[in-house]
Amino acid sequence: MTVVHLPKSAVLSSYARHLMTKQQEKEAKGARGFGSDDSSKTAKSTVASVEDSSSVKAGQDITIPQLEDYCDDFTADIKNKLATLTLSHETYSEALDNREVYLKHPPVFSHKLEIDAPITNQKNSGRCWIFAGLNMLRQHMMKEYNLDELELSQPFVFFHDKLEKSNWFLENILKTLDEDLDGRVVQYLLTSPVQDGGQWDMFVALVEKYGVVPKEAYPKTVHTSSSGQMDWLITTKLREYAKEIRTEHANGKSIDELRKMKDRMLREIHKVISVSLGQPPKTIDWSFYSKDKKFHEFRNVTPLEFYKNHVKQDCTKFVSLINDPRNEYMKKYTVDYLGNVYGAESVHYINLSVQRLKDYAIRVLKSGRPVWFGCDVGKFLSRSHGMMDTEVIDYKSAFDFGFGMTKAERLQYGDSLMTHAMVLTGVHIEDGKTIRWRIENSWGASTGNKGYLTMTDRWFDEFVYQIVLEKSDLPKEVLDVLDQEAVVLPPWDPMGALAK
């Protein structure tokens, strides 16, 4: 038998690390990070005393003795060799897959929508917010017209979003002509003028202005499914236009003259989008067979008529609810410079506790309706099992630590924000306690459970930031918040992040 003798420094360092994983600071409201254990009150002082006993002096730079001490500490624990052998050949999500989590949460739900619509696929684009919006709207249509399947055209909304975002950008360049080019606001505007992402209110602005069409009336192209090249071309031209506008302003041109320049610029952008995606239809014919084999046809319908007469969902009657624990609840918020359609209703939210978001969402699901929501999808996600849970990837077993930041702290320190939009289609409740949620995603049927994901309730607490509900689903005290003057957050605030 081989006996491994641990050097004293390794034992002390290992013990200190053990105590640190036990001790997680509580935020002001009493919440603490996940993946951590209860701790003793003296853990911090004990760790400090252990670190003080080390022969290696900590300074500004990393010294060679300091690095050797790290290496000794690492090699002293035989478990690290096994972890290295495993993780050098597998991703974290594969090697640290926590079997207990997905066995505990099978894709079975006590409350589920009656209709399972075909799963959609946004492919290599950031259009999830459009997919989620249209997937939510089609549920009502499928019921009314007795359909087995229906997909609304995401490229139709995408086309108009690109053009509107280009105009939004150029108008904001005109708005900031006298601000320093190197200032934070102008540089923020120049960062990503027409990225694919968006938010609910931006979706509403587009469908209210341009309407909706079925997928067959305006199908996908290479550049809707993989938008990177088109986005690069438009972005490069928009930055060039911004430079031209600011230069001509400095040369004394009036705002009217600059807007004439903008019209020429938008004409060129429209050409890029039209060549890449094709021009959208002005009228459509919609024909289909219902589940009872009956033929239906509607001819010469405009996209707006299709939206108002066939989709029959007034998106202006929905409101965005967010959970932002950094800021005061029961307040109305907006984000400066956030939007896509000039002249449309501004983006705004009501900030509520996460429990309220869950309670309201459950009521809507029980009534048989879907819920659009936004979250930080990349955190603790097992794609292969379609599972979102704070322990589905067992980092602690591999690295001997948990995660100590609260939801508010992750927002404050840039570790989390809304990155993806999907649709809630079910919830599982046991003995009055919410256990897990069913999610319709837009990554195709090959991911998760035939395209659907399962989200545990504790994951909802940590990484869901926004849900969208009809105003009629909310109590008066919440709706009254809409009458408040909105608190304006800066453009770079995480609440202004675009779902992709």
Strands 387-388 and 433-440: unpaired
327 is catalytic: no
Q: How far is the C-alpha of 30 from the C-alpha of 11, rounded, in Å?
A: 32
Say if residue 474 is exposed, middle or buried (CB neighbours under 10 Å; 0-12, 13-18, 19+): buried
Return the structure tokens found at 300: 């010469």
Give the residue from 470, 478, 113 showing the smallest Cα distance to 313: 470
Q: How far is the C-alpha of 319 from the C-alpha of 370, rounded, in Å?
A: 14
Q: How far is the C-alpha of 8 from the C-alpha of 356, rounded, in Å?
A: 51
Q: How far is the C-alpha of 74 from the C-alpha of 207, rounded, in Å?
A: 57
**Dihedral, CA of residue 405, residue 353, residue 435 and residue 200, to nearest 10:** -100
Helix axes 8-22 and 43-52, enclosed angle (nearest 10): 160
From the centroid of its chain, how far is CA 317?
22
315 is catalytic: no
Residue in 121, 128, 135, 310 annotated catalytic: 128
Phi, psi of 146, deg, nearest 5: 55, 55
Helix axes 154-175 and 228-250, enclosed angle (nearest 10): 20
Query: Sign of torsion, CA 168 169 174 179?
Result: positive
Q: What are the start-end ranges of the E strands in 255-307?
A: 284-289, 295-301
Residue in 105, 160, 420, 428 annotated catalytic: 420
Burial 293-330 (b: 16+ CB within 10 A, else e): eeeeeeeebbbeebbeebbebebeebbbbbbbbbeeee
Tokens 């930041």 belong to residue = 405
Amino acid 436 reads: R
296 is catalytic: no
Q: How far is the C-alpha of 314 from the C-alpha of 361, rounded, in Å?
A: 19
Give me the DSSP letters along 325-357. TTS-SSEEEEETT--SSTTSPPP-EEE--HHHH
Tally of CB atoms within 10 A around 61? 6
User: Which amino acids are annotated catalytic?
Assistant: 128, 420, 441
